[in-house]
Structure 1
Amino acid sequence: MKTLYLECSMGAAGDMLTAALLELCDKQKFLEKINAIGIPKVTEEANSGSKCGICGTQMSVRVDGIAEESHDVHEHTHHHHAHHAHTSMQDIENLIHGFTVSEKVKSDAIAIYKLLAEAESHAHGKPVAEIHFHEVGTLDAVTDIVGVCMLIEEVAPEKIIASPIHVGSSHVHCAHGILPVPAPATAYLLQNIPMYGGTVEGELCTPTGAALLKYFVSEFGNMPVIKTDSIGYGFGKKEFSRLSCVRAFLGDTEDQTEQIIELKCNLDDMTGERIGLALERLFEAGALDVFTTPIGMKKNRPAILLTCLCRPQQRDTMLHEIFKHTTTIGVRETLCNRYVLDRTETVQHTQYGNVRVKQIRGYGVERSKPEFDDLARLTQKHGVAIDKIKLFEY
Structure 2
Amino acid sequence: MKSLYIECKMGIAGDMLTAALIDLYDDASKMVNELNKLGIPHVDYVLEDSNKAGIKGKHMRVMVHGQEEGELLDDHKHDSKAHSHHHRHLSDIEQIIEGLSIDRDVKKDIKEVYKLLAEAESKVHGVAVPEIHFHEVGNLDAIADITAACYLIHCLSVDRIIVSPINVGSGTVKAAHGILPVPTPATAVLLAGIPYYESETIKTELCTPTGAALVKYFATDSGVQPVMKVSKIGYGMGKKEFEQVNCVRTILGETEEDKDQVLELSCNIDDMTPEEIGFAMDRFFEVGALDVFTTAIGMKKNRPGILLTCMCRSQDRDKVVAEIFKNTTTIGIRESVCNRYVLAREVKKNDTPYGEIRVKRSYGYGVDRVKPEYDDLVQAAKKSGKSLLEIKKDIAK
TM-score range with shorter-chain normalisation? over 0.9
**Residues 304 and 137 (structure 1 numbering): CA distance in 2 closer, same or farther, change over 3 Å?**
closer
Does the C-alpha gap of structure 1 residues 70 and 305 become closer, same or farther in structure 2, counting only changes over 3 Å? farther
Aligned to 1:150: 151
For 1:5, the aligned partner's letter is Y
8 Å Cα contact 2:137/2:210 also seen in 1: no
Counterpart residue number, 2:15: 15
**Structure 1 contact 76–174 (Cα < 8 Å) conserved:** no
- Write out per-residue CA displacement over residues 151-176 of structure 1, whole angstroms, 9 at most, x where no aligned residue: 00111110000001110100001121
Check conservation: 2:270, 2:306, Cα contact below 8 A. Answer: yes
Aligned to 1:132: 133
Contact kept? 2:292, 2:309, Cα under 8 Å: yes
Aligned position for 1:5: 5
Select 2:330's aligned residue among 316, 324, 328: 328
CA distance in 2, matches of 1:46, 1:100: 20
Confirm or deny that 1:284 pairs with 2:282. no
In the alignment, is residue 201 of structure 1 matched against residue 203 of structure 2? yes
- Aligned partner of 2:276 in structure 1 is 274
Amino acid of the structure 1 residue aligned with 2:20 = A
* 1:79 corresponding residue in structure 2: 77
- Secondary structure of the 2:224 match is coil
> Taking structure 1 as reference, are residues 28 and 295 closer, same or farther at Cα in structure 2, changes over 3 Å only?
same
Which residue in 2 is equivalent to 1:357? 359
Unaligned runs of 5+ in 2: none
Determine the structure 2 residue equivalent to 1:318. Answer: 320
Are residues 76 and 339 of structure 1, via their aligned partners in 2, closer, same or farther at CA, if it must alter by over 3 Å? farther
Q: Mapping of 1:149-188 within 5 angstroms?
A: 149-188=150-189
Q: 1:243 aligns with which of 233, 242, 245?
A: 245
Instruction: Indicate the structure with greater helix content.
Output: 2
User: Which digits, 9 at most, give the CA deviation of each residue in 1:348-370, with x for residues without a partner?
Assistant: 13222221111000001000011
Q: Give the equivalent residue in structure 2 for 1:110.
A: 111
Give me the whole-angstrom Cα distance separating, in 2, the residues matched to 1:352 and 1:136.
Answer: 29
Task: Name the CA distance, whole Å, in 2 between partners of 1:190 and 1:243.
Answer: 23
Contact 1:87 1:135 survives alignment (8 Å):
no
Mark the runs of 5 or more structure 1 residues left unpaired by the alignment.
none
Match of 2:36 in 1: 35
Alpha-carbon spacing, 1:135–1:245, altered in 2? closer, same or farther (3 Å): closer
Looking at structure 2, the residues matched to 382 and 76 of structure 1 have their Cα atoms a distance apart, in angstroms, of: 53
Measured in 1, the distance between the counterparts of 2:79 and 2:234 equals 33
**Secondary structure at the counterpart of residue 332 of structure 2:** coil
Task: Determine if contact 1:81/1:136 at 8 Å carries over to the other structure.
Answer: no
| Offset of residue 234 of structure 1 | 0.3
- Please show how residues 255-266 of structure 1 align to structure 2 within 5 Å: 255-266=257-268
Q: In the superposition, relative to structure 1, how do residues 58 and 13 fare at CA in structure 2: closer, same or farther (>3 Å)?
A: same
What is the CA-CA distance between 1:123 and the residue it aligns to? Answer: 2.1
The aligned residue for residue 225 of structure 1 is 227
Q: CA deviation at 1:81?
A: 6.4
Moved more, 354-363 or 379-388: 379-388
**Count of residue pairs the alignment pairs up:** 390
Closer, same or farther: CA 136–69 of 1 in aligned 2, 3 Å:
farther
> Which among 379, 384, 395 is matched to residue 391 of structure 1?
395
* Identical-pair percentage: 55
Q: Which moves more between the two structures, 204-213 or 129-138?
A: 129-138
User: Quick check: 2:346–2:362 contact (8 Å CA) kept in 1?
Assistant: yes
Secondary structure (helix, strand or coil) at the match of 1:359 reads strand
How far is the alpha carbon of 1:383 from its aligned partner? 1.2
| Whole-Å separation in 2 of the counterparts to 1:117 and 1:145 | 14
- Verify the 8 A CA contact 2:50 2:237 in the aligned structure 1: no
- The question of whether the paired residues in 1 share the 8 Å contact of 2:136 and 2:176 is answered with no
> How large is the Cα RMSD of the aligned pairs?
1.8
- Tell me how far 1:255 sits from its aligned partner: 0.1
Residue 29 of structure 1 aligns to a residue whose secondary structure is helix
- State the 1:70 CA deviation: 9.4
SS in 2 for 1:259: strand
**Contact 2:137 2:143 (8 Å CA) reproduced:** no
* Match of residue 214, structure 2, among 196, 212, 215: 212
* 1:276-307 per-position Cα deviation (integer Å, ceiling 9, x unaligned): 11111111111000000000011110001000
TM-aligned CA deviation for residue 52 of structure 1: 0.6
User: How far does residue 130 in structure 1 lie from its aligned partner after superposition?
Assistant: 1.9
Task: Judge conservation of contact 1:231–1:249 (CA < 8 Å) in 2.
Answer: yes
Change (3 A) 1:42 1:302: same
